[in-house]
Chain A
Amino acid sequence: MKKKTESEQLIIANKELVFQNEEKEKRAAELIIANKELKEQEIFLRESQRAAHIGSYKLNFITEHWQSSETLDDIFGIDKSYIRSIEGWKEIIHPDDQNTMDEYLRLEVIGKQKSFEREYRIVRINDKQTRWVCGLGEVKFDDSGNAIQLIGTIQDITKRKKTEQKLFESKEMLSQSQKLTQMGSWGLNVETGELSWSAEAYNIHNCDPETFTPTPETLINLLLPEDRELLSNWISKVITGINQNAIVYRLGSDDGTIKYIRGEGRSVLNKAGKVIRLFGTAHDITERIESEEKMFQLSSIINATSDIVGIANSADQHITFLNKAGREALGFGEEEDLSETKISDYSPAWANELILKEGIPAAMKTGKWMGETALLTKTGVEIPISQVIVLHSDEKGKPQFFATVARDITESKKVEENLKQSEVRFRSFFENSPVPLFVFDLNLGKFVSVNLATERLFKLTNKELTNKGPGDISPEFQPDGTKSEEKIKERIAKALNGEKLEFEWVFIIGDGSEILTETRLSLLPSNGSPLILASSLDITERRKDEIKLKRNNKELQKINAELDRFVYSVSHDLRAPLKSMLGLTDIINNDIEPENKEQLERLQMMKQSVVKLDNFIEDILHYSRNSRMEVTKEEICFEEAINDIWGSHKFMEGTKGLKLKLEIQQAEKFISDKRRVIVILGNLLSNAVKYQDATKENPFVNIMVQCSKENAIISVEDNGIGIAKNKQEKIFEMFYRATTLSSGSGLGMYILKETMEKLGGTFALESELAKGAKFTVTIPNQLVSLN
């Protein structure tokens, strides 16, 4: 900026000088004329010369002598004693200019009879200074055209020349510096509307000075259309003398790139306060804008990242920058001042030591350090981090600042810790497992880890085992006749496929004996060589037991079948004669005269005894069948089953006069073991029939069936003799009979209980002596399981 104002001033000064010079030159010319006309007015002239610092002379070519005014003597540095000869004249002229001057005078001025007008250098006689002078003169010729004399003036223009030189230099400098800084300058003559540009201004605006005439209008047309009005407004404001901030406008180009130009302007006022000129600069700031954009992007990234980014001064380790993530992690507000914050305040002592002793020296040596350290938040919480420290040095290698990028690794630390723990747990589990576990490394072809249980199983030490593979501890053939080696290959291939295998395997153990094992294989996760985990359980004993068990089972089955046959034939053989007896008593009964009541009564008693014995045998059969036969599933129609039981000949006599009420609420089919359900129903009904209360007027049996998807609830209620409370528990015991009226075996309720257990049902009894009894059984419906 400073440079610019100096340049401006120079320009102004330059212009003024030129102007002055012009004026002076005009005046000098006038003076020459006046000199010619008023030769005699020497005093006046002298005074004038002195005032104007212009010397005059008269050179006589014939006498080769010249006269000089006082001012000229002053310019030449001579006094009265100086020999004013041609030689003396020549001596004053700068040696480098003597020849050209001689040529100019002979050929141009004398030869072509022209006025003398030339700027040249002299060497002052008294102080030997080189001065620039401007000589003007006229040669007088005689009639034959020979030069007689030269009369002229000489003005010392050293100062002007120097200024000119300076101006030239400063112009050059300006131009060069404008080129370097990509800054152009311009001036606007408000009255004429003329716009002048520096060379760089053309460059910046992509214009050719040869073809482009800069005016405010042509300039505006170079801009992107959307920026044109902006610049136009800006110029008009600057013209009216309103100070304006810099403007940034954009130029497009054929290749699509956009140039950003920053313009600045200043108005120059005349004494009346009117703007006469505008000066200004145009600066190509495209690179700056682009790098600003990049900077902005970078800083956005740094502030958006979840990683902590910080910069610290390398000398005192004060934090100079901390991104958003960093501020959040340490507990700083977004705008909070960091200037008094040191790295060490926010690191636990151990981390600080690590950074100072290892991190920073390494960063200084190689430029970078990576490691795991920790941060300490404002509230004193330690956060483990993974950190990169980068050192920035100046050109001389002097450290400037440290930049660090850190990541919170609390979670991964936790995961790592958990992993470590689970590894330890697994290792401990592996080592201490009572199950023999061993790991086979496929590439090594050997076991790589074996636990204690494995050592015990194989009667081999860890060292012995880890030197072997599965083939070394297997017999040549497995019990099924296949080669062990082939089977091992096949199974390992399957395990590699991710299959979990379970098979029986015979091993040869340390003492040379064979053991039968149940062996499991599974693939272990591994980055390197495939690992297969094997576990082997010695089932030699178990197998023996199994064989024994099987044999026992077979024997039991045989015994069971025999028992079945035995029970069957016994029951048949026992019952057949009874049936015969019953048949015979019926026949006899029909043959006895009705009057012979005594005989009939005896016969009836005989029949009762036979029935009782038959029922007893039947009960035993029911019991033995229930305990041994499988539970079956089939549909049961309650109405049919109950009516069948009620109508069976066994009941015929007892049901006379007993009123049966049957109510069935059935929404679903009932599926259960038909025979067992009939045994249960039969027992309940037979009890109701057997233990009627003869004293009651309206003996009844109410049967209620409620059948749902889940179960059937069957209640049998009677108004019979009932069961005393203290006996209600006992009736379910084997051979227990609660009343002397009982003609049964005492097995009925026991069978009912046992049968209910087989069916998975429950039962309940409500009864009061002399009032009646209500049995309720709940039998699960197997409808669902059947489907």
Chain B
Amino acid sequence: MKFKHALLIDDNNIDNYITKHIITQSKKADRITIKNSAIKALEYLNTINHANEEFIDIIFLDINMPEMDGFDFLDELIKFPEEIIAKTSVFMLTSSDHPKDINRATQYSVVKKYIVKPLTDDILNDLK
């Protein structure tokens, strides 16, 4: 599967670099946007929503982030209109494999996958 527009949300710039590199290499996405905070990412989504631009179809989301963490972000995201959300997939991409986090993430229907860092070619290729 190929994505039109991927949004990477992670406060760790190195990880953003790695993820972007892997996605670019695999050519899975036409366009990649990187936001190093969940707040900025939310602002960005609001902007494109208001501008009636095409919405993001895939989000790689970290959990541990200052100010607004991955779950706070998810709580805001699901407030977007349903028809928009329906077209969007969220992949959790985090260094945490704590069961509590995994469990909590699966509560959101918008979350389609939980990936423990680092993202590799193999994992990406397995995504459908």
Residues of chain A at the chain B interface (Cβ within 8 Å):
568-569, 571-572, 575-576, 578-580, 582-584, 586-587, 590, 618, 621, 625, 649, 652, 675
Contact (A586, B25) CB under 8 Å given A572-B96, A579-B95: no
A568-B98, A587-B21 as given contacts; A576 in contact with B120, CB under 8 Å: no
Asked if residues B123 and A576 are in contact (CB atoms below 8 Å), the reply is: no
Contact, CB under 8 Å: A583 / B15? yes
Besides the contacts A576-B95, A583-B22, what 9 more A-B pairs have beta carbons closer than 8 Å? A569-B64, A576-B12, A579-B116, A580-B18, A587-B22, A590-B121, A618-B97, A649-B123, A652-B122
Report the tally of A-B residue pairs with Cβ distances under 8 A: 58
* Contacts A572-B64, A576-B12, A590-B25; A583 near B119 (Cβ below 8 A): yes
Q: Which of A569, A576, A586 has the most chain B CB atoms closer than 10 A to its own CB? A: A576
Is there contact, CB below 8 Å, between B120 and A580?
no
| B118 touches which of A583, A590, A625 (Cβ 8 Å) | A583
Within 8 A of A (CB), among B73-126: 95-99, 116-123
Q: A569 — which chain B residues lie within 8 A by C-beta?
A: 64
B14 interface residue, CB < 8 Å from A? yes
Residues of B contacting A618 with CB < 8 Å? Answer: 97
Cross-chain contact of A587 among B18, B95, B123 (Cβ < 8 A): B18
| B residues less than 8 Å from A590 (CB atoms) | 25, 121
Known: A584-B18, A587-B18, A675-B99. A579 touches B118 (CB 8 A): yes
Give min CB distance, B32 to chain A, whole Å.
15
**Complex contacts, B96 vs chain A, CB 8 Å:** 568, 571-572, 575
Closest beta carbon of chain B to A749's beta carbon, Å: 21
Query: Contact at A586–B120, with CB atoms within 8 Å?
Result: yes
Residues on A with C-beta less than 8 A from B64 are 569, 572, 576
Main SS at interface, chain A = helix
> In the bound complex, what is the Cα–Cα distance between A397 and B14 (angstroms)?
133
A584 vs B15: C-alpha distance when bound (angstroms)? 8
CA gap between A590 and B22 in the complex, in Å: 10
Q: Is the CB of B122 within 8 A of A580?
A: no
Output the least CB separation between B19 and chain A (Å): 8
Given contacts A586-B118, A649-B123, A675-B99, contact A580 B25 (CB under 8 A): no
B123 A580 Cβ-Cβ under 8 A? no
Q: Are B95 and A584 in contact (CB under 8 A)?
A: no
Complex Cα spacing A576 to B95, Å: 5
A572→B15 contact, CB < 8 A: no
Q: How far is the CB of B90 from chain A (nearest CB, A)?
A: 19
Those 6 A-B pairs whose CB atoms lie nearest each other, nearest first: A583-B118, A583-B18, A579-B117, A576-B95, A579-B95, A580-B14
- Which chain A residue shows the least CB distance to B96? A572
For the complex formed, measure the closest distance between the CB of A123 and the CB atoms of chain B, giving whole angstroms.
157
**Contact between B12 and A582 (Cβ–Cβ < 8 Å)?**
no
Indicate if the CB atoms of A584 and B14 lie closer than 8 Å.
yes
Residues of B within 8 A of A (CB): 12, 14-15, 18-19, 21-22, 25, 64, 95-99, 116-123
Measured between beta carbons, the chain B residues less than 8 angstroms from A652 are 122
> With the chains together, A572 CA to B117 CA distance in Å?
11
- In the bound complex, residues from chain A placing their C-beta under 8 Å from that of B97 are 618
> Whole-angstrom distance between the alpha carbons of A625 and B99 in the complex?
10
Closest-CB distance, A44 to chain B (whole angstroms): 170
Q: How far is the CB of B91 from chain A (nearest CB, A)?
A: 15
With A587-B18, A587-B22 given, is the CB distance from A580 to B98 under 8 Å?
no
Q: Complex formed: what's the CA distance from A719 to B57 in Å?
A: 48
Query: Is the pair B118, A582 in contact by a Cβ cutoff of 8 Å?
Result: yes
A723–B63 CA distance with the chains assembled, in angstroms:
42
Measured between alpha carbons, how far is A568 from B97 in the docked complex, in Å? Answer: 10
- Asked if A572 meets B120 with Cβ closer than 8 Å, knowing A580-B18, A584-B18, A587-B21, the reply is no
- 11 A-B residue pairs with Cβ-Cβ distance under 8 Å, sorted by A, are A572-B95, A576-B64, A576-B117, A580-B14, A583-B22, A583-B118, A583-B119, A586-B120, A587-B18, A590-B121, A649-B122
Taking a contact as CB atoms under 8 Å apart, the answer to whether B120 and A649 are in contact is yes
Task: Report Cα–Cα, A578/B123, bound state, in Å.
Answer: 18
A675, closest chain B residue (CB): B99
- Complexed CA–CA distance, A47 and B35 (Å): 192
**Residue of A whose beta carbon sits closest to that of B13:** A580
Q: Which A residues are CB-close (under 8 A) to B22?
A: 583, 586-587
Chain A residue contacts of B98, Cβ below 8 A: 568, 571, 621
Please give, as numbers and ranges, the residues of chain B lying within 8 Å of A625 by CB-CB distance: 99
Q: Which of A578, A579, A590, A621 has the most chain B CB within a 10 Å cutoff?
A: A579
- Chain B nearest CB, measured from A565 CB (Å): 11
**CA–CA, A582 to B15, complex, Å?**
10
Distance from A634 Cβ to chain B, minimum over Cβ atoms (Å): 11
Assembly CA distance A579 to B12 (angstroms): 11
| B residues less than 8 Å from A580 (CB atoms) | 12, 14-15, 18, 117-118
Chain B's nearest CB lies how many Å from the CB of A176? 124
In Å, the complex CA distance between A613 and B76 comes to 36
Residue of B nearest to A674 (CB): B99
Q: Return B112 CB to nearest CB of chain A, in Å.
A: 17
Give the docked Cα–Cα distance between A583 and B120 (Å): 7
> A residues within 8 A CB of B19?
583
A587 and chain B: residue at smallest CB distance: B21
Tell me the minimal C-beta distance from B28 to chain A in angstroms. 15
A579 cross-chain contacts in B, Cβ below 8 A: 15, 95, 116-118
Name the residue of chain A whose CB is nearest to the CB of B15. A580
Tell me the complex Cα distance, A479–B36, Å.
Answer: 59
Question: Which residues of B sit under 8 angstroms from A568, Cβ to Cβ?
Answer: 96, 98
Q: Which A residues are CB-close (under 8 A) to B14?
A: 580, 583-584
- Say yes or no: B99 contacts A575, CB within 8 Å: no
Complex contact B118–A575 (CB within 8 A): no
Bound Cα distance from A649 to B116, whole angstroms: 10
Report B24 CB to chain A, min CB distance, Å: 11
Contacts of A586 on B, CB cut-off 8 Å? 18, 22, 118, 120-121
A587–B20 CA distance with the chains assembled, in angstroms: 11
A564 to chain B, nearest CB (A): 9
Shortest CB–CB separation between residue A305 and chain B, in angstroms?
Answer: 84
Which single residue of chain A is at the shortest CB-CB distance from B103? A675
Cα-based distance from A571 to B122 in the complex (angstroms): 25
Give Cα distance in the complex from A625 to B96, angstroms: 14
Chain B: minimal CB distance from A363 (Å) = 96
In the complex, what distance in Å separates the CA atom of A576 from the CA atom of B66?
14
